[in-house]
Structure 1
Amino acid sequence: MCGIAGLIDYSQQGSHELARTLTRITDALAHRGPDASATWLDREGRVGLGHRRLSIIDLSPAGAQPMHSSSGRYSIVFNGEIYGFLSLRSELEERGSRFRGHSDTEVLLEAIETYGVESALRRCNGMFAFALYDSAARQIIFARDRIGKKPLYIGVSRSAVAFGSELKSIKAHQAFQSAEVDRDALTLFFRHGYVPTPYSIYRGIFKLPHGSWLSLSVDAPPASTSAALAGVKSYWDAFDAAEQGAAQRIESPDEALDELDEALKRAVSERLVSDVPVGALLSSGVDSSLISAVMQEVSTSPVKTYTVRFLEEQYNEADLASAIAKQLGTDHTEITAEPDTALHLVDELPDVYDEPFADPSQIPTLLVSKLARRTVTVALSGDGGDEFFGGYKRYRQMIAFDRLANKTPALALRAAKHAPQWALEFAAAAGRQVRPSSLQDELTGKRLRRLAELLEIQDPDDRYLDFRSLWSDPAGVVIGGVELPTAMTSKRKPACLNAVDRMMYSDMVDYLPDDILVKMDRASMSVGLEMRAPLLDYRFIELAWRAPRSLCFSEAKGKPALRKLLSRRLPEQFISVPKRGFGVPVNAWLRGPLRAWAEEMLSPARLERDGILRAEPIVSRWKAHIAGDRDWGPQLWAVLMFNLWHDRWVRSG
């Protein structure tokens, strides 16, 4: 695990200046790789590769990067892990390959030598991003893992291409220091709370899509980012995984559970391979409890587990997590998220997430990463259970909304949209006895108007997008912003998917890689902690799409398959407790300890000074939030995170 960076220089600026630039963009990622640093330039002074090392596998110099293939044709900088690489190594040795060390990077290089890039990628199971210089073909090849666990940004200008694990690396290159904020990408940020792939917050810089690879010439620059993106090739497609899963459905629930169990044990075992200590993040949720249980099952010593305690009871899972750890026999540690401690992390967020990012659970994720890093260098998480086994509460809510949309007259919806608030409160109270159980928390008077707006949307996919949106009209917030197409808005979904599967598929290709995995990667790597997610093993995901749908969604409780797997390892009292969510009380914080700070950040004078956001809709929601008329915390948090980022990376630059 590490940080990677590099460049192609088309301006022939000279090797000495190029070396200084390469060192600068590599050192910007020192937090991702605190153990060592190295750079390499080709003889022509055209290509540079940089690496910051977090030593996990093969701690010897033989595992150092940049690394060169045995023939000398290929040079690579690699970020991530190839799981089960020893079997691939044995296969290559049978074909005559010889190895200097025992790192997975060297195995990847020799696989590319033997099979070619795309075939080697298909053979590799892992989380990774890499840049590979092919001196014979005179091109650099970029690739990312199937699910998008490891990041890779690429910047394109007339004089250079620069790439890196994070934007701060590319911004350290002189050709991109004055990169402009992309207002269209910012518009997408205000809808989603993150900038979706392939866009970045800057013009001229893009994210390489997951499950893909791209080659760029070292002799001629791409005409634009769009021209570069046109060359992206896929080696694994979520569409195919979902479609083939439906075509190869496992009919027996018991058979599917047994296969899932074996696949999960294999995935966990492979992720325990490390030359440094390994632990696990444990909440009271099904996902992390299952991962911790399987880790303890396959481990020969007590597993180290970590959790965050919140003083706000509705967010606190530490007591149950502690009881689960005791039941499993893990070596458990917790940290308390005192309000002052958590709030002090806010100032760190622009440096940790050097692109605007507005998922408030970034704070506890950063806290628990700091805690785990005190004693381990690698930790396993439960990421991925919600997107493939119907874990999000919103799936059940949307099914209820779909039913209501089919039953509610259009006249009633229009009336609800325009009714006075007192009338909506009365209607909510009167309907308390007849509302669907899945909407018990939703049909308050404050939310009836929002519900009416949702139910007026006819297309279920569009309704889900609107429900998931922070700002339903983000172009009305960003001056000059236009919404661009994304994986979330794409209608390219397998026709065989049912309503819930369509939502899970959308989250798989958009929310998972661009929110959940970004949150975990940046938080953990900011402290040099490698996170591994067994539930995101692509073989486990493909198996999930093949499983009977009754195992993947239930209106009664989410994640039925994972609950059944956990019941094989823990008593029922640890499984039936409702999940509280890994969040923070952002609504209360903005009315309380963060109010003065937010007041200044959201003031009309501040917003008008920057000239990027329209003040009126933001100030209006801020006033309503402070008055307690409605909870606008998540929407306002997005504005705050952008302004905080803008102060750090644009105004200060």
Structure 2
Amino acid sequence: MCGIAGVWRKRNPIGGGDLTDVGRMMQALAHRGPDDHASWNDSRLALGHRRLSIIDLSTQAREPMLTACGQGVLVYNGEVYNYRALRATLETEGRRFRTVSDAEVVLEALHHWGPDKAIPLFDGMFSLAYFDARATTLWLARDRLGIKPMSVAETPERILFASEDKAILACDDAARAIDAREITLRLAWQSRDSSSSLFEGIERLPPAGLWKITDAGIEKRCFWHVLDVLDAARIAGDTATDAEHMASLEALIEDSVGLHCVADTRLAAACSGGVDSGLVTTLAKRFRPELTAYVVDPRLGHSEAEDAERTARHAGVPLNRVAVDKDRFLELWPRTIWHLESDGWHASHACLLALAEQCRADGIKVLLTGEGADELFGGYDWQEASMRPWRPWSWPQRLFRSKARLARRFERQRHAPFRTSLAGDRGWDRNIVLRALSPELNFLQTKIFDRLEPVASLSDRAFLGCCLQDMYAHLQDLLNRHDRLSMAASVELRVPFLENRLIDFAIHLPRRHKYRHKQGKWLLKKVAEKHIPLQNVNARKNGFQVSNNFTTGTEGLLRAGLLRDVMKWPAASVEDLIGLARRDEPSRLRLVGMELFLRLHADGQTTGQLTEALRAAVRDAR
């Protein structure tokens, strides 16, 4: 787990300014890799690497890493968990290794097989830059669901790339211009953070992005997409019994957790009171007997600590409670936005940073979490709600409706098939909004729904399609949050549910194995019943709740702020927006969070100054 940076010269050789910029980028990414740093350059390319040492702690595993022949160079951020199996295959084909690191396996696979063959074989989370001197070609790649980040900026003379936007902004010729359209999209609740930057001129590799850079320019493509791998006939033809699927799922999860426990450093689990992290914690104990667990314990409102304690006792894992009160929250909030490079739309963001900082203070470098299970196995209420509009087509309701009317309604509804669709019912105005906001994401829902045509039940198609859509929407926000805030504290966060075989298994499960008897994640919960307390398995899903009181009063920051100028709000409307933020916590988090972002990145204020401004706003509101 690391931070990577690079400069590619389109024409002229690498010069002193380029090397200085790589140094600046590495300094901006110091939090991602405090253990070591190094750089490398040739006539056209300069690379930098900040290292968080987790697998093979020796200096031999330092990056940038070169092949023995010197013709292949790699900087790499992440973990490829099947590296041992890949290494064995490469050794049978004559490759020899100098380290026991996964980075060298990634490099040798890329150099020996080529990126087109090697990268789809990688099972894990990664963003990487690989230079093949034999063809004078630079490759940039990101894992299939975008767990690890990669930002890119192109200028007339150079291509800059790094793990975070702030590294590119540290370069001498980088403009720190804010994209007002992106602000609008986020305020409109679009899922953008993982794949789009708030800074003009900075682009992010999409999930599964595979970019080839040569003298001819950038060739952009993806090596994996759910539309390309989804076999709807496999879902429709599924005849496996509950017991067979339970056995398969349990084996897959156990194997994935075992792979995710490989580390030459201390490892812990983020254990909430829920099913997903509880199951990961319990299974990880088998592979790492010394395992400890952490849970955030807010001093206001609902806390998951008691439920987490129940799971931890059951698993025999000591649990550390990380306390967060309002004063600590206001200290952390601006820092979360600095690292997220966005507005920080959920109050739990600050709590995740508090948890990661406590882990690091305790000497923990790796943290396991249960993220991804809700998207893959159907754990959200909006996925279940997506079935309801399709009930008129179910038996026997369709007997009482005109076939022609149902056909007309179907054609309208398939363009907004899910509960999360913007263009609901037949509102023409909403269709206009849909097209204007984020078409690359919003039109994906219809493509997914149509691809599921072999699934006879329209409500089943809607449920399954909503789960798949969430992989590119809601999950992207969560993965972006987890990477940025864990790495802010130099902690690697791993997500065992997002392993290649588990992804394939989950996207091909019929609805009856995801939602049954009014219960989401039905199959996963059946597996969990064997490992964690039934009280936790059967508890109502709450998500991570943080009291509204943590942010009450901060809305005063919008008065005489920067956001009103960027959005060109009339002065008379600002008080109305402050009133909205006062009444509605989600709006308060979005609006105040974006104000904090602008003050950090457009006005140059420090996180400490913003914490004091937040505290002052709270005092004034009393």
Distance (Å, rounded) in 1 between the aligned partners of 2:356 and 2:136: 40
Residue number among 170, 179, 182 corresponding to 2:179 in the alignment: 182
1:636 and 2:592 aligned: no
Q: Any conservation in 2 of the 1:520–1:531 contact (CA below 8 Å)?
A: yes
Distance (Å, rounded) in 1 between the aligned partners of 2:290 and 2:442: 41
> Residues 238-260 of structure 1, C-alpha deviation per residue, up to 9 Å, x if partnerless?
12343355266353221111111
Task: Report deviation, 1:525.
Answer: 0.1
Q: Which residue of 2 aligns with 1:338?
A: 325
How many residues end up aligned between the 2 structures?
573
Q: Which residue of 1 aligns with 2:502?
A: 540
Q: Which residue of 1 aligns with 2:536?
A: 574
Q: Specify whether residues 191 and 279 from structure 1 end up closer, same or farther in structure 2 by C-alpha distance, changes over 3 A only.
A: same
Distance (Å, rounded) in 2 between the aligned partners of 1:125 and 1:240: 18
Q: Tell me whether 184-193 or 499-508 shows the greater mean CA deviation.
A: 184-193
Q: Which residue of 1 aligns with 2:578?
A: 622
Q: Any conservation in 2 of the 1:607–1:614 contact (CA below 8 Å)?
A: no
Task: Report deviation, 1:164.
Answer: 0.6
Task: Report deviation, 1:392.
Answer: 1.1
> Residues 140-193 of structure 1, C-alpha deviation per residue, up to 9 Å, x if partnerless?
1000111110000111111211111100011011222x2422222222212236
Q: Which residue of 2 aligns with 1:428?
A: none
Q: Which residue of 2 aligns with 1:492?
A: 447
Q: Any conservation in 1 of the 2:261–2:287 contact (CA below 8 Å)?
A: no
Residue number among 325, 345, 368 corresponding to 1:358 in the alignment: 345
DSSP 3-state at the match of 1:129: strand
Distance (Å, rounded) in 2 between the aligned partners of 1:529 and 1:118: 30
Q: Which residue of 1 aligns with 2:359?
A: 372
Q: Any conservation in 2 of the 1:364–1:582 contact (CA below 8 Å)?
A: no
Letter matched to residue 564 of structure 1 = K
Task: Report deviation, 1:47.
Answer: 0.8
> Residues 479-533 of structure 1, C-alpha deviation per residue, up to 9 Å, x if partnerless?
xx952423244232123361111111111122212x0101100110001000111
1:310 and 2:298 aligned: yes
Distance (Å, rounded) in 2 between the aligned partners of 1:615 and 1:484: 28
Q: Which residue of 2 aligns with 1:125?
A: 123
Q: Which residue of 2 aligns with 1:559?
A: 521
Q: Tell me whether 549-558 or 191-200 shows the greater mean CA deviation.
A: 191-200
Task: Report deviation, 1:623.
Answer: 1.6
- Flag structure 1 segments of 5+ consecutive residues without an equivalent: 223-227, 407-455
Q: TM-score, normalised by structure 1?
A: 0.82
1:646 and 2:590 aligned: no
Q: Specify whether residues 332 and 17 from structure 1 end up closer, same or farther in structure 2 by C-alpha distance, changes over 3 A only.
A: same
Residue number among 163, 166, 169 corresponding to 2:164 in the alignment: 166
Q: Any conservation in 1 of the 2:180–2:567 contact (CA below 8 Å)?
A: no
1:509 and 2:507 aligned: no
Letter matched to residue 492 of structure 1 = K
Task: Report deviation, 1:270.
Answer: 0.6
Q: Specify whether residues 216 and 137 from structure 1 end up closer, same or farther in structure 2 by C-alpha distance, changes over 3 A only.
A: same
1:249 and 2:206 aligned: no
Q: Any conservation in 2 of the 1:264–1:535 contact (CA below 8 Å)?
A: yes
> Residues 73-103 of structure 1, C-alpha deviation per residue, up to 9 Å, x if partnerless?
2111000001021111111111111111111
Q: Which residue of 1 aligns with 2:250?
A: 261
Task: Report deviation, 1:473.
Answer: 9.9
Q: Tell me whether 51-60 or 574-583 shows the greater mean CA deviation.
A: 574-583
Q: Specify whether residues 243 and 401 from structure 1 end up closer, same or farther in structure 2 by C-alpha distance, changes over 3 A only.
A: same
Distance (Å, rounded) in 2 between the aligned partners of 1:544 and 1:569: 20
Distance (Å, rounded) in 1 between the aligned partners of 2:121 and 2:323: 43
Q: Any conservation in 2 of the 1:65–1:77 contact (CA below 8 Å)?
A: yes
Task: Report deviation, 1:612.
Answer: 4.8
Q: Specify whether residues 123 and 143 from structure 1 end up closer, same or farther in structure 2 by C-alpha distance, changes over 3 A only.
A: same
Letter matched to residue 585 of structure 1 = S
> Residues 277-336 of structure 1, C-alpha deviation per residue, up to 9 Å, x if partnerless?
11100000000011011112344x2421100112334x2110111121011100211112
Distance (Å, rounded) in 1 between the aligned partners of 2:570 and 2:187: 12
Letter matched to residue 598 of structure 2 = H
- Flag structure 2 segments of 5+ consecutive residues without an equivalent: 395-411, 456-460, 606-622
Q: Tell me whether 16-25 or 527-536 shows the greater mean CA deviation.
A: 16-25
Task: Report deviation, 1:26.
Answer: 1.4
Q: Tell me whether 347-356 or 17-26 shows the greater mean CA deviation.
A: 347-356
> Residues 447-471 of structure 1, C-alpha deviation per residue, up to 9 Å, x if partnerless?
xxxxxxxxx9895437523399xxx
Q: Which residue of 2 aligns with 1:27?
A: 27
Task: Report deviation, 1:652.
Answer: 1.9
Distance (Å, rounded) in 2 between the aligned partners of 1:90 and 1:464: 45
* Aligned ranges 1:375-390 → 2 under 5 Å: 375-390=363-378
Q: Which residue of 2 aligns with 1:47?
A: 45
Q: Any conservation in 2 of the 1:604–1:615 contact (CA below 8 Å)?
A: no
Letter matched to residue 372 of structure 2 = G
Task: Report deviation, 1:377.
Answer: 0.6
Q: Which residue of 1 aligns with 2:264?
A: 275
Distance (Å, rounded) in 2 between the aligned partners of 1:617 and 1:466: 25
Q: Any conservation in 1 of the 2:558–2:592 contact (CA below 8 Å)?
A: yes
Q: Any conservation in 2 of the 1:288–1:382 contact (CA below 8 Å)?
A: yes
Q: Specify whether residues 502 and 259 from structure 1 end up closer, same or farther in structure 2 by C-alpha distance, changes over 3 A only.
A: same
Q: Any conservation in 2 of the 1:279–1:380 contact (CA below 8 Å)?
A: yes
Q: Any conservation in 1 of the 2:10–2:157 contact (CA below 8 Å)?
A: yes
Of all paired residues, the percent bearing the same amino acid is 28
DSSP 3-state at the match of 2:188: helix
What is the RMSD computed on CA atoms of the aligned residues?
2.9
DSSP 3-state at the match of 1:216: strand
1:38 and 2:38 aligned: yes
Q: Any conservation in 1 of the 2:140–2:211 contact (CA below 8 Å)?
A: yes
Q: Any conservation in 2 of the 1:69–1:75 contact (CA below 8 Å)?
A: yes
Letter matched to residue 526 of structure 1 = A
> Residues 184-208 of structure 1, C-alpha deviation per residue, up to 9 Å, x if partnerless?
2222212236535543212221111
Q: Any conservation in 2 of the 1:193–1:638 contact (CA below 8 Å)?
A: no
Q: Specify whether residues 14 and 278 from structure 1 end up closer, same or farther in structure 2 by C-alpha distance, changes over 3 A only.
A: closer
1:327 and 2:305 aligned: no
* Aligned ranges 1:418-433 → 2 under 5 Å: none
Q: Which residue of 2 aligns with 1:86?
A: 84
Task: Report deviation, 1:558.
Answer: 2.0
Letter matched to residue 589 of structure 2 = W
Residue number among 428, 437, 441 corresponding to 1:483 in the alignment: 437
Distance (Å, rounded) in 2 between the aligned partners of 1:614 and 1:512: 35
Q: Which residue of 2 aligns with 1:466?
A: 422
Task: Report deviation, 1:128.
Answer: 0.2
Q: Which residue of 1 aligns with 2:405?
A: none
1:195 and 2:150 aligned: no
Distance (Å, rounded) in 2 between the aligned partners of 1:21 and 1:474: 45
DSSP 3-state at the match of 2:332: helix
Distance (Å, rounded) in 1 between the aligned partners of 2:236 and 2:111: 35
Q: Specify whether residues 580 and 495 from structure 1 end up closer, same or farther in structure 2 by C-alpha distance, changes over 3 A only.
A: closer
Distance (Å, rounded) in 1 between the aligned partners of 2:283 and 2:31: 30
Q: Specify whether residues 96 and 165 from structure 1 end up closer, same or farther in structure 2 by C-alpha distance, changes over 3 A only.
A: same
Task: Report deviation, 1:11.
Answer: 6.6
Q: Specify whether residues 463 and 546 from structure 1 end up closer, same or farther in structure 2 by C-alpha distance, changes over 3 A only.
A: closer
Letter matched to residue 187 of structure 1 = T
Q: Which residue of 2 aligns with 1:413?
A: none
